[in-house]
Structure 1
Amino acid sequence: MTFTNPLRATWERGEIAKGAWCASPSAVVAEALATVGFDYVCADMQHGVADYSDVVPMMQAISGQGAAPVVRVPANDAAMIGRVLDAGALGVIVPLVSTPDDAARAVAACRYPPLGGRSYGPVRASTVVGSKDPVDLDQVICGVMVETQEGLERVDEIAATPGVDVIYVGPADLSLALGLPPAYEHEDAVHAEAVARIQAACDRHGVIAGVHCTGGEMGSRRISQGFRMTTLVNDLALVRAGGAHELGLAGGA
Protein backbone atom coordinates (compact mmCIF):
# COMPACT_ATOMS: atom_id res chain seq x y z
CA MET A 1 0.00 0.00 0.00
CA THR A 2 1.44 3.35 -1.04
CA PHE A 3 -1.50 5.60 -0.08
CA THR A 4 -3.27 6.33 3.18
CA ASN A 5 -6.49 8.31 3.14
CA PRO A 6 -5.79 11.50 5.15
CA LEU A 7 -9.03 11.06 7.09
CA ARG A 8 -7.92 7.58 8.16
CA ALA A 9 -4.57 9.05 9.15
CA THR A 10 -6.30 11.71 11.25
CA TRP A 11 -8.25 9.08 13.18
CA GLU A 12 -5.25 6.81 13.53
CA ARG A 13 -3.47 9.70 15.25
CA GLY A 14 -6.38 9.93 17.68
CA GLU A 15 -7.49 13.29 16.30
CA ILE A 16 -10.93 14.64 15.38
CA ALA A 17 -11.83 15.24 11.74
CA LYS A 18 -13.52 18.63 11.43
CA GLY A 19 -15.30 19.51 8.22
CA ALA A 20 -17.44 21.86 6.21
CA TRP A 21 -20.52 21.21 4.07
CA CYS A 22 -21.31 22.61 0.63
CA ALA A 23 -24.94 22.77 -0.45
CA SER A 24 -24.19 25.20 -3.26
CA PRO A 25 -22.75 23.95 -6.57
CA SER A 26 -19.69 26.19 -6.43
CA ALA A 27 -16.07 25.13 -6.78
CA VAL A 28 -15.05 28.62 -5.67
CA VAL A 29 -16.99 28.33 -2.40
CA ALA A 30 -15.68 24.80 -1.81
CA GLU A 31 -12.14 26.01 -2.42
CA ALA A 32 -12.57 28.94 -0.04
CA LEU A 33 -13.80 26.66 2.73
CA ALA A 34 -10.93 24.25 2.13
CA THR A 35 -8.39 27.05 2.66
CA VAL A 36 -9.57 27.55 6.24
CA GLY A 37 -8.01 24.31 7.46
CA PHE A 38 -10.92 21.89 7.59
CA ASP A 39 -9.91 18.24 7.34
CA TYR A 40 -12.66 17.58 4.80
CA VAL A 41 -15.23 19.42 2.73
CA CYS A 42 -18.36 17.55 1.74
CA ALA A 43 -20.31 18.28 -1.44
CA ASP A 44 -23.97 17.48 -0.89
CA MET A 45 -25.76 15.76 -3.77
CA GLN A 46 -28.75 14.74 -1.67
CA HIS A 47 -30.20 17.97 -0.27
CA GLY A 48 -27.72 20.37 -1.84
CA VAL A 49 -28.12 21.62 -5.40
CA ALA A 50 -24.86 20.17 -6.72
CA ASP A 51 -25.00 17.66 -9.55
CA TYR A 52 -22.21 15.35 -10.79
CA SER A 53 -20.91 17.97 -13.24
CA ASP A 54 -20.68 20.43 -10.32
CA VAL A 55 -19.11 17.99 -7.86
CA VAL A 56 -16.09 17.09 -10.01
CA PRO A 57 -14.62 20.65 -10.09
CA MET A 58 -15.61 21.09 -6.45
CA MET A 59 -13.50 18.06 -5.53
CA GLN A 60 -10.61 19.38 -7.61
CA ALA A 61 -10.78 22.67 -5.74
CA ILE A 62 -11.02 20.97 -2.33
CA SER A 63 -8.08 18.65 -3.02
CA GLY A 64 -6.04 21.58 -4.31
CA GLN A 65 -6.24 23.24 -0.89
CA GLY A 66 -5.29 20.15 1.07
CA ALA A 67 -8.66 19.04 2.40
CA ALA A 68 -10.21 15.63 1.74
CA PRO A 69 -13.12 15.75 -0.74
CA VAL A 70 -16.19 13.89 0.52
CA VAL A 71 -19.55 13.52 -1.22
CA ARG A 72 -22.96 12.82 0.23
CA VAL A 73 -24.58 10.83 -2.53
CA PRO A 74 -28.33 11.18 -3.17
CA ALA A 75 -29.13 7.54 -2.40
CA ASN A 76 -27.63 4.14 -1.64
CA ASP A 77 -26.98 3.54 -5.33
CA ALA A 78 -23.91 1.60 -6.44
CA ALA A 79 -23.65 3.37 -9.78
CA MET A 80 -23.63 6.85 -8.24
CA ILE A 81 -21.28 5.84 -5.43
CA GLY A 82 -18.88 4.37 -7.99
CA ARG A 83 -19.01 7.48 -10.16
CA VAL A 84 -18.08 9.92 -7.40
CA LEU A 85 -15.33 7.61 -6.13
CA ASP A 86 -13.92 7.25 -9.64
CA ALA A 87 -14.01 11.05 -9.89
CA GLY A 88 -11.82 11.40 -6.81
CA ALA A 89 -13.97 11.44 -3.68
CA LEU A 90 -11.98 10.13 -0.73
CA GLY A 91 -15.19 9.29 1.10
CA VAL A 92 -18.92 8.99 0.62
CA ILE A 93 -21.77 9.54 3.04
CA VAL A 94 -24.75 7.36 2.17
CA PRO A 95 -28.16 8.51 3.45
CA LEU A 96 -31.06 6.56 4.94
CA VAL A 97 -29.24 3.39 5.93
CA SER A 98 -31.69 1.51 8.14
CA THR A 99 -30.52 -2.11 8.11
CA PRO A 100 -27.28 -4.09 8.03
CA ASP A 101 -28.20 -5.13 4.48
CA ASP A 102 -28.37 -1.44 3.51
CA ALA A 103 -24.97 -0.92 5.10
CA ALA A 104 -23.47 -3.94 3.35
CA ARG A 105 -24.71 -2.62 -0.03
CA ALA A 106 -23.01 0.72 0.62
CA VAL A 107 -19.77 -1.02 1.57
CA ALA A 108 -19.88 -3.25 -1.52
CA ALA A 109 -20.22 -0.17 -3.73
CA CYS A 110 -17.06 1.30 -2.18
CA ARG A 111 -14.78 -1.76 -2.32
CA TYR A 112 -13.27 -3.76 -5.15
CA PRO A 113 -13.57 -7.56 -5.25
CA PRO A 114 -13.15 -9.65 -3.22
CA LEU A 115 -14.18 -7.13 -0.55
CA GLY A 116 -17.06 -5.70 -2.59
CA GLY A 117 -18.45 -5.16 -6.05
CA ARG A 118 -17.03 -1.79 -7.15
CA SER A 119 -16.27 -1.73 -10.88
CA TYR A 120 -12.68 -0.81 -11.75
CA GLY A 121 -12.24 2.46 -13.63
CA PRO A 122 -10.55 5.08 -11.42
CA VAL A 123 -10.58 7.76 -14.11
CA ARG A 124 -9.59 10.59 -11.75
CA ALA A 125 -9.25 8.70 -8.48
CA SER A 126 -5.89 7.27 -9.60
CA THR A 127 -4.59 10.85 -9.95
CA VAL A 128 -5.86 11.86 -6.51
CA VAL A 129 -4.51 8.72 -4.83
CA GLY A 130 -1.36 8.58 -6.94
CA SER A 131 -1.88 4.91 -7.67
CA LYS A 132 -3.98 2.54 -9.77
CA ASP A 133 -3.57 -0.25 -7.24
CA PRO A 134 -6.98 -1.38 -5.90
CA VAL A 135 -5.44 -1.70 -2.44
CA ASP A 136 -4.72 2.04 -2.44
CA LEU A 137 -8.02 2.95 -4.06
CA ASP A 138 -9.88 0.89 -1.45
CA GLN A 139 -8.80 3.37 1.23
CA VAL A 140 -11.92 5.48 0.59
CA ILE A 141 -14.18 6.11 3.57
CA CYS A 142 -17.60 4.45 3.61
CA GLY A 143 -19.92 6.48 5.82
CA VAL A 144 -23.56 5.52 6.36
CA MET A 145 -26.25 7.71 7.85
CA VAL A 146 -28.47 6.46 10.66
CA GLU A 147 -31.51 8.71 10.71
CA THR A 148 -34.60 6.51 10.83
CA GLN A 149 -36.39 4.67 13.62
CA GLU A 150 -35.39 1.31 12.17
CA GLY A 151 -31.80 2.45 11.77
CA LEU A 152 -31.74 3.54 15.39
CA GLU A 153 -33.16 0.20 16.55
CA ARG A 154 -30.61 -1.72 14.46
CA VAL A 155 -27.63 0.58 14.93
CA ASP A 156 -25.50 -2.12 16.59
CA GLU A 157 -26.00 -4.41 13.60
CA ILE A 158 -25.17 -1.57 11.21
CA ALA A 159 -22.03 -0.68 13.17
CA ALA A 160 -20.96 -4.33 13.13
CA THR A 161 -21.19 -4.51 9.32
CA PRO A 162 -17.68 -5.20 7.94
CA GLY A 163 -16.31 -2.28 5.98
CA VAL A 164 -18.41 0.48 7.53
CA ASP A 165 -15.97 3.22 8.55
CA VAL A 166 -18.32 5.92 9.81
CA ILE A 167 -21.86 6.13 11.10
CA TYR A 168 -22.98 9.66 10.46
CA VAL A 169 -25.95 10.95 12.45
CA GLY A 170 -28.61 12.77 10.44
CA PRO A 171 -30.01 14.75 13.39
CA ALA A 172 -32.84 16.47 11.53
CA ASP A 173 -34.24 13.31 9.93
CA LEU A 174 -33.68 11.50 13.20
CA SER A 175 -35.82 14.20 14.86
CA LEU A 176 -38.67 13.51 12.45
CA ALA A 177 -38.35 9.77 13.03
CA LEU A 178 -38.76 10.43 16.75
CA GLY A 179 -41.86 12.59 16.23
CA LEU A 180 -40.02 15.87 16.82
CA PRO A 181 -39.59 18.97 14.63
CA PRO A 182 -36.43 18.80 12.47
CA ALA A 183 -33.46 20.21 14.36
CA TYR A 184 -29.86 19.32 15.11
CA GLU A 185 -30.39 19.40 18.89
CA HIS A 186 -33.44 19.20 21.14
CA GLU A 187 -34.14 19.75 24.79
CA ASP A 188 -36.27 16.61 24.57
CA ALA A 189 -34.26 13.79 26.15
CA VAL A 190 -35.51 11.31 23.54
CA HIS A 191 -33.38 12.93 20.83
CA ALA A 192 -30.32 13.26 23.04
CA GLU A 193 -30.63 9.61 24.05
CA ALA A 194 -30.93 8.53 20.41
CA VAL A 195 -27.80 10.46 19.42
CA ALA A 196 -25.93 9.00 22.41
CA ARG A 197 -27.11 5.51 21.46
CA ILE A 198 -25.62 5.86 17.98
CA GLN A 199 -22.33 7.19 19.32
CA ALA A 200 -22.09 4.39 21.86
CA ALA A 201 -22.72 1.75 19.19
CA CYS A 202 -19.86 3.22 17.17
CA ASP A 203 -17.56 2.97 20.16
CA ARG A 204 -18.51 -0.64 20.78
CA HIS A 205 -17.73 -1.66 17.22
CA GLY A 206 -14.69 0.51 16.49
CA VAL A 207 -16.52 2.74 14.02
CA ILE A 208 -16.09 6.51 13.75
CA ALA A 209 -19.11 8.48 14.98
CA GLY A 210 -19.92 11.48 12.78
CA VAL A 211 -22.51 14.21 13.12
CA HIS A 212 -23.87 17.39 11.55
CA CYS A 213 -23.51 20.54 13.69
CA THR A 214 -24.74 24.12 13.44
CA GLY A 215 -21.37 25.62 14.34
CA GLY A 216 -18.27 25.36 16.43
CA GLU A 217 -20.05 25.53 19.79
CA MET A 218 -22.21 22.54 18.98
CA GLY A 219 -19.19 20.85 17.45
CA SER A 220 -17.29 21.24 20.71
CA ARG A 221 -20.17 19.63 22.61
CA ARG A 222 -20.37 16.74 20.15
CA ILE A 223 -16.62 16.16 20.35
CA SER A 224 -16.86 16.00 24.14
CA GLN A 225 -19.61 13.37 23.66
CA GLY A 226 -17.22 11.21 21.64
CA PHE A 227 -17.92 12.18 18.03
CA ARG A 228 -14.79 12.04 15.91
CA MET A 229 -16.15 13.41 12.63
CA THR A 230 -17.89 16.75 13.07
CA THR A 231 -19.25 18.88 10.25
CA LEU A 232 -19.15 22.36 11.72
CA VAL A 233 -20.48 24.70 9.03
CA ASN A 234 -22.74 24.80 5.99
CA ASP A 235 -21.89 27.24 3.21
CA LEU A 236 -25.40 28.61 2.69
CA ALA A 237 -26.04 28.89 6.43
CA LEU A 238 -22.84 30.92 6.74
CA VAL A 239 -23.91 33.26 3.94
CA ARG A 240 -27.38 33.76 5.41
CA ALA A 241 -26.10 34.33 8.93
CA GLY A 242 -23.35 36.70 7.79
CA GLY A 243 -25.71 38.65 5.56
CA ALA A 244 -28.34 38.98 8.27
CA HIS A 245 -25.69 40.09 10.80
CA GLU A 246 -24.33 42.83 8.54
CA LEU A 247 -27.84 43.99 7.61
CA GLY A 248 -28.64 44.26 11.30
CA LEU A 249 -25.51 46.30 11.97
CA ALA A 250 -26.55 48.79 9.29
CA GLY A 251 -29.83 49.36 11.13
CA GLY A 252 -32.15 51.93 9.63
CA ALA A 253 -29.41 53.94 7.93
Structure 2
Amino acid sequence: MRRGGKRMNTARSLREKFARGETAFGVWAALPDAFAAELMCVGGVDYICVDQQHGLVDYREMVEMLRAIEGRRSAVPVTRVPVNQAWIIGKVLDAGMQGVVVPMVSNRAEAAAAVAACRYSPRGNRSFGPVRASMVMNSRDVAVMGDSVLCFVMVETREGVEKVDEIASTPGLDGIYVGPADLALGLGLQPDLDKEEPEHVAAVERILAACKKHSIVPGIQCGNGKAARKQADRGFRFVTFTKDSSLLPAAVGKEVAAILGTDTGVKQTSQKGYT
Protein backbone atom coordinates (compact mmCIF):
# COMPACT_ATOMS: atom_id res chain seq x y z
CA MET A 1 0.00 0.00 0.00
CA ARG A 2 1.36 3.40 -0.94
CA ARG A 3 0.17 6.86 -0.07
CA GLY A 4 1.69 9.83 -1.80
CA GLY A 5 4.27 7.55 -3.45
CA LYS A 6 5.61 6.19 -0.15
CA ARG A 7 5.65 2.53 0.75
CA MET A 8 3.42 1.95 3.79
CA ASN A 9 4.44 -1.51 5.03
CA THR A 10 7.51 -0.27 6.89
CA ALA A 11 8.36 0.08 10.55
CA ARG A 12 7.24 3.68 10.30
CA SER A 13 3.61 2.65 9.83
CA LEU A 14 3.75 0.60 13.04
CA ARG A 15 5.46 3.42 14.90
CA GLU A 16 2.72 5.81 13.82
CA LYS A 17 0.06 3.37 14.98
CA PHE A 18 1.74 2.99 18.37
CA ALA A 19 2.08 6.78 18.68
CA ARG A 20 -1.69 7.07 18.22
CA GLY A 21 -2.23 4.57 21.03
CA GLU A 22 -3.55 1.93 18.64
CA THR A 23 -2.84 -1.80 18.60
CA ALA A 24 -1.04 -3.59 15.79
CA PHE A 25 -2.36 -7.11 15.19
CA GLY A 26 -0.22 -9.67 13.41
CA VAL A 27 0.40 -13.25 12.37
CA TRP A 28 3.29 -15.60 13.12
CA ALA A 29 4.83 -17.37 10.11
CA ALA A 30 6.50 -20.65 11.06
CA LEU A 31 6.20 -22.47 7.74
CA PRO A 32 9.13 -21.95 5.35
CA ASP A 33 6.98 -20.88 2.44
CA ALA A 34 6.81 -17.48 0.72
CA PHE A 35 3.38 -18.12 -0.80
CA ALA A 36 1.91 -19.00 2.59
CA ALA A 37 3.31 -15.77 4.01
CA GLU A 38 1.91 -13.83 1.07
CA LEU A 39 -1.55 -15.35 1.54
CA MET A 40 -1.68 -14.14 5.14
CA CYS A 41 -1.24 -10.49 4.12
CA VAL A 42 -4.95 -9.74 4.29
CA GLY A 43 -6.73 -6.62 5.47
CA GLY A 44 -6.44 -6.08 9.21
CA VAL A 45 -3.08 -7.87 9.49
CA ASP A 46 -0.60 -5.16 10.46
CA TYR A 47 2.53 -7.32 10.54
CA ILE A 48 3.83 -10.77 9.68
CA CYS A 49 6.53 -12.12 11.98
CA VAL A 50 8.73 -14.73 10.33
CA ASP A 51 9.82 -17.13 13.06
CA GLN A 52 13.45 -18.23 12.79
CA GLN A 53 13.66 -19.47 16.37
CA HIS A 54 11.06 -22.24 16.52
CA GLY A 55 9.73 -22.02 12.97
CA LEU A 56 11.21 -24.12 10.16
CA VAL A 57 12.66 -21.07 8.40
CA ASP A 58 16.31 -20.65 7.41
CA TYR A 59 17.93 -17.44 6.14
CA ARG A 60 17.36 -18.01 2.44
CA GLU A 61 13.70 -18.88 3.04
CA MET A 62 13.34 -15.84 5.29
CA VAL A 63 14.52 -13.58 2.47
CA GLU A 64 11.99 -15.07 0.04
CA MET A 65 9.20 -14.70 2.60
CA LEU A 66 10.30 -11.12 3.22
CA ARG A 67 10.08 -10.31 -0.48
CA ALA A 68 6.62 -11.88 -0.72
CA ILE A 69 5.33 -9.87 2.24
CA GLU A 70 6.84 -6.67 0.84
CA GLY A 71 5.14 -7.32 -2.47
CA ARG A 72 1.71 -7.22 -0.87
CA ARG A 73 2.45 -3.71 0.46
CA SER A 74 0.21 -4.09 3.50
CA ALA A 75 1.61 -6.07 6.43
CA VAL A 76 4.97 -5.02 7.87
CA PRO A 77 7.62 -7.79 7.74
CA VAL A 78 9.44 -8.48 11.00
CA THR A 79 11.26 -11.55 12.25
CA ARG A 80 12.03 -13.39 15.44
CA VAL A 81 15.72 -14.18 15.35
CA PRO A 82 16.92 -17.51 16.76
CA VAL A 83 19.31 -15.98 19.30
CA ASN A 84 20.52 -12.63 20.62
CA GLN A 85 23.66 -12.28 18.51
CA ALA A 86 24.68 -9.11 16.70
CA TRP A 87 25.67 -10.73 13.41
CA ILE A 88 22.35 -12.57 13.14
CA ILE A 89 20.32 -9.45 13.94
CA GLY A 90 22.36 -7.35 11.53
CA LYS A 91 22.02 -9.87 8.73
CA VAL A 92 18.19 -9.97 8.82
CA LEU A 93 18.04 -6.16 8.98
CA ASP A 94 20.48 -5.90 6.07
CA ALA A 95 18.04 -8.06 4.10
CA GLY A 96 15.31 -5.50 4.71
CA MET A 97 13.39 -6.76 7.72
CA GLN A 98 11.63 -3.86 9.43
CA GLY A 99 12.15 -5.14 12.95
CA VAL A 100 13.32 -7.97 15.16
CA VAL A 101 11.91 -9.86 18.11
CA VAL A 102 14.83 -11.11 20.20
CA PRO A 103 14.19 -14.13 22.47
CA MET A 104 15.39 -14.99 25.96
CA VAL A 105 16.42 -11.57 27.26
CA SER A 106 16.77 -11.66 31.05
CA ASN A 107 18.57 -8.44 32.01
CA ARG A 108 19.41 -4.94 30.84
CA ALA A 109 22.81 -5.90 29.44
CA GLU A 110 21.19 -8.45 27.12
CA ALA A 111 18.51 -5.94 26.12
CA ALA A 112 21.17 -3.32 25.42
CA ALA A 113 23.07 -5.81 23.25
CA ALA A 114 19.94 -6.45 21.17
CA VAL A 115 19.33 -2.72 20.71
CA ALA A 116 22.98 -2.05 19.82
CA ALA A 117 22.82 -4.72 17.13
CA CYS A 118 19.95 -2.82 15.47
CA ARG A 119 21.44 0.69 15.60
CA TYR A 120 24.45 2.19 13.89
CA SER A 121 27.13 4.19 15.72
CA PRO A 122 26.93 6.21 17.91
CA ARG A 123 23.68 4.60 19.14
CA GLY A 124 24.83 1.04 18.55
CA ASN A 125 27.41 -1.24 16.96
CA ARG A 126 25.61 -2.53 13.87
CA SER A 127 28.05 -3.14 11.05
CA PHE A 128 27.36 -1.14 7.89
CA GLY A 129 26.38 -3.37 5.00
CA PRO A 130 22.71 -2.76 4.11
CA VAL A 131 22.96 -4.95 1.02
CA ARG A 132 19.22 -4.98 0.41
CA ALA A 133 17.88 -2.71 3.16
CA SER A 134 19.21 0.42 1.46
CA MET A 135 17.21 -0.45 -1.65
CA VAL A 136 14.07 -1.30 0.30
CA MET A 137 14.26 1.87 2.38
CA ASN A 138 15.51 3.98 -0.54
CA SER A 139 18.26 5.39 1.66
CA ARG A 140 21.80 4.78 2.85
CA ASP A 141 21.40 7.23 5.73
CA VAL A 142 22.31 5.37 8.92
CA ALA A 143 19.74 7.36 10.88
CA VAL A 144 16.98 6.22 8.54
CA MET A 145 18.06 2.58 8.36
CA GLY A 146 19.20 2.13 11.94
CA ASP A 147 16.80 4.20 13.98
CA SER A 148 13.64 3.30 12.08
CA VAL A 149 13.72 -0.48 12.57
CA LEU A 150 11.88 -1.91 15.56
CA CYS A 151 13.60 -3.79 18.37
CA PHE A 152 11.49 -5.94 20.69
CA VAL A 153 12.93 -8.29 23.30
CA MET A 154 11.21 -11.26 24.90
CA VAL A 155 11.07 -11.64 28.67
CA GLU A 156 10.64 -15.37 29.26
CA THR A 157 12.52 -16.24 32.45
CA ARG A 158 12.12 -15.69 36.16
CA GLU A 159 15.19 -13.48 36.12
CA GLY A 160 13.71 -11.45 33.28
CA VAL A 161 10.49 -10.87 35.19
CA GLU A 162 12.41 -9.82 38.28
CA LYS A 163 14.52 -7.40 36.21
CA VAL A 164 11.81 -6.28 33.80
CA ASP A 165 11.86 -2.69 35.02
CA GLU A 166 15.55 -2.30 34.18
CA ILE A 167 15.03 -4.08 30.86
CA ALA A 168 12.17 -1.74 29.95
CA SER A 169 14.35 1.28 30.73
CA THR A 170 16.97 0.30 28.12
CA PRO A 171 17.59 3.27 25.79
CA GLY A 172 16.47 2.59 22.23
CA LEU A 173 14.31 -0.40 23.09
CA ASP A 174 10.92 -0.25 21.37
CA GLY A 175 9.05 -2.88 23.34
CA ILE A 176 8.85 -6.13 25.26
CA TYR A 177 7.10 -9.13 23.75
CA VAL A 178 5.56 -11.74 26.05
CA GLY A 179 5.80 -15.38 25.02
CA PRO A 180 3.33 -16.97 27.46
CA ALA A 181 4.49 -20.55 26.86
CA ASP A 182 8.21 -19.98 27.43
CA LEU A 183 7.40 -17.61 30.29
CA ALA A 184 5.40 -20.43 31.85
CA LEU A 185 8.38 -22.77 31.54
CA GLY A 186 10.60 -20.14 33.10
CA LEU A 187 8.25 -20.02 36.06
CA GLY A 188 8.14 -23.81 36.41
CA LEU A 189 4.70 -24.21 34.82
CA GLN A 190 3.39 -26.17 31.85
CA PRO A 191 3.81 -24.30 28.54
CA ASP A 192 0.50 -23.04 27.14
CA LEU A 193 -0.67 -19.66 25.85
CA ASP A 194 -3.74 -19.31 28.06
CA LYS A 195 -2.13 -19.55 31.48
CA GLU A 196 -4.30 -18.68 34.47
CA GLU A 197 -1.97 -19.61 37.34
CA PRO A 198 -1.63 -16.59 39.67
CA GLU A 199 2.17 -16.49 39.31
CA HIS A 200 1.93 -16.33 35.52
CA VAL A 201 -0.84 -13.73 35.54
CA ALA A 202 1.19 -11.60 37.96
CA ALA A 203 4.31 -11.90 35.79
CA VAL A 204 2.46 -10.75 32.68
CA GLU A 205 0.95 -7.84 34.61
CA ARG A 206 4.40 -6.88 35.84
CA ILE A 207 5.76 -6.83 32.29
CA LEU A 208 2.81 -4.79 31.07
CA ALA A 209 3.23 -2.29 33.91
CA ALA A 210 6.96 -1.89 33.19
CA CYS A 211 6.26 -1.17 29.53
CA LYS A 212 3.69 1.46 30.43
CA LYS A 213 6.01 3.03 33.01
CA HIS A 214 8.83 3.44 30.49
CA SER A 215 6.60 4.31 27.52
CA ILE A 216 7.56 1.35 25.37
CA VAL A 217 5.26 -1.01 23.48
CA PRO A 218 3.96 -4.15 25.24
CA GLY A 219 3.47 -7.15 22.95
CA ILE A 220 2.12 -10.65 23.44
CA GLN A 221 1.50 -13.93 21.60
CA CYS A 222 -2.09 -15.21 21.44
CA GLY A 223 -3.69 -18.29 19.92
CA ASN A 224 -6.80 -16.74 18.40
CA GLY A 225 -8.59 -13.51 17.66
CA LYS A 226 -10.77 -13.56 20.76
CA ALA A 227 -7.73 -13.83 23.03
CA ALA A 228 -5.95 -11.14 21.02
CA ARG A 229 -8.85 -8.73 21.44
CA LYS A 230 -8.82 -9.40 25.19
CA GLN A 231 -5.10 -8.65 25.44
CA ALA A 232 -5.46 -5.49 23.36
CA ASP A 233 -8.21 -4.29 25.68
CA ARG A 234 -5.85 -5.08 28.54
CA GLY A 235 -3.27 -2.68 27.12
CA PHE A 236 -1.03 -4.73 24.82
CA ARG A 237 -0.20 -2.92 21.58
CA PHE A 238 1.73 -5.48 19.49
CA VAL A 239 -0.48 -8.56 19.48
CA THR A 240 -0.08 -11.76 17.47
CA PHE A 241 -3.41 -13.54 17.05
CA THR A 242 -2.51 -16.73 15.19
CA LYS A 243 0.19 -18.61 13.29
CA ASP A 244 0.19 -20.45 10.00
CA SER A 245 1.11 -23.80 11.53
CA SER A 246 -2.08 -23.63 13.62
CA LEU A 247 -4.40 -22.30 10.92
CA LEU A 248 -3.79 -25.15 8.48
CA PRO A 249 -4.61 -28.10 10.78
CA ALA A 250 -7.52 -26.13 12.24
CA ALA A 251 -9.04 -25.58 8.80
CA VAL A 252 -8.53 -29.21 7.77
CA GLY A 253 -9.90 -30.43 11.09
CA LYS A 254 -13.01 -28.30 10.67
CA GLU A 255 -13.77 -29.81 7.27
CA VAL A 256 -13.08 -33.35 8.53
CA ALA A 257 -15.56 -32.72 11.34
CA ALA A 258 -18.13 -31.58 8.77
CA ILE A 259 -17.61 -34.75 6.74
CA LEU A 260 -17.91 -37.01 9.76
CA GLY A 261 -20.72 -35.05 11.37
CA THR A 262 -18.69 -34.60 14.52
CA ASP A 263 -17.04 -31.72 16.31
CA THR A 264 -13.83 -33.60 17.00
CA GLY A 265 -11.75 -31.64 14.51
CA VAL A 266 -8.91 -29.39 15.58
CA LYS A 267 -10.48 -26.21 16.94
CA GLN A 268 -9.26 -22.89 15.62
CA THR A 269 -10.06 -21.33 18.97
CA SER A 270 -7.37 -23.38 20.66
CA GLN A 271 -4.89 -21.48 22.79
CA LYS A 272 -2.38 -24.31 22.70
CA GLY A 273 0.84 -23.40 21.04
CA TYR A 274 4.41 -22.25 21.43
CA THR A 275 6.16 -18.94 21.71
Q: Shorter-chain TM-score: what band?
A: over 0.9
Residue of structure 1 equivalent to 2:201:
192
8 Å CA contact 1:185–1:191 kept in 2: the answer is no
Residue of structure 2 equivalent to 1:209:
218
Does residue 24 of the first structure (1) align with residue 31 of the second (2)? yes
Residue of structure 2 equivalent to 1:50:
57
Counterpart of 1:128 in structure 2: which amino acid? V
Given the alignment, which residue of 83, 86, 89 partners 1:81?
A: 89
Unaligned runs of 5+ in 1: none
1:4 positional shift: 6.4
Does residue 248 of the first structure (1) align with residue 257 of the second (2)? yes
Deviations 1:70-99 (CA, angstroms, capped at 9, x unpaired): 010000010010000000100000000001
Which segment is superposed worse, 161-170 or 33-42?
33-42
8 Å CA contact 2:11–2:99 kept in 1: the answer is no
Residue of structure 2 equivalent to 1:113:
121
Cα distance in 2 for residues equivalent to 1:198 and 1:76: 20
Counterpart of 1:224 in structure 2: which amino acid? D
Identity %: 50
SS where residue 41 of structure 2 aligns? Answer: helix
1:56 positional shift: 0.4
Does residue 234 of the first structure (1) align with residue 234 of the second (2)? no
How many equivalent residue pairs? Answer: 252
TM-score normalised by L of structure 2? 0.89
Which segment is superposed worse, 181-190 or 221-230?
181-190
1:187 positional shift: 2.4
Residue of structure 2 equivalent to 1:6:
13
1:252 positional shift: 6.9
Counterpart of 1:81 in structure 2: which amino acid? I
Cα distance in 2 for residues equivalent to 1:120 and 1:81: 12
1:128 positional shift: 1.8
Cα distance in 1 for residues equivalent to 2:136 and 2:58: 20
8 Å CA contact 2:50–2:78 kept in 1: the answer is yes
Q: CA RMSD in A?
A: 1.5
SS where residue 126 of structure 2 aligns? Answer: coil
Unaligned runs of 5+ in 2: 1-5, 263-275
Q: How does 1:67-216 map to 2 (within 5 A)?
A: 67-138=75-146, 139-216=148-225
Flag the 1:61–1:37 CA change in 2: closer, same or farther, 3 A.
Answer: farther
1:136 positional shift: 0.8
Flag the 1:252–1:199 CA change in 2: closer, same or farther, 3 A.
Answer: closer
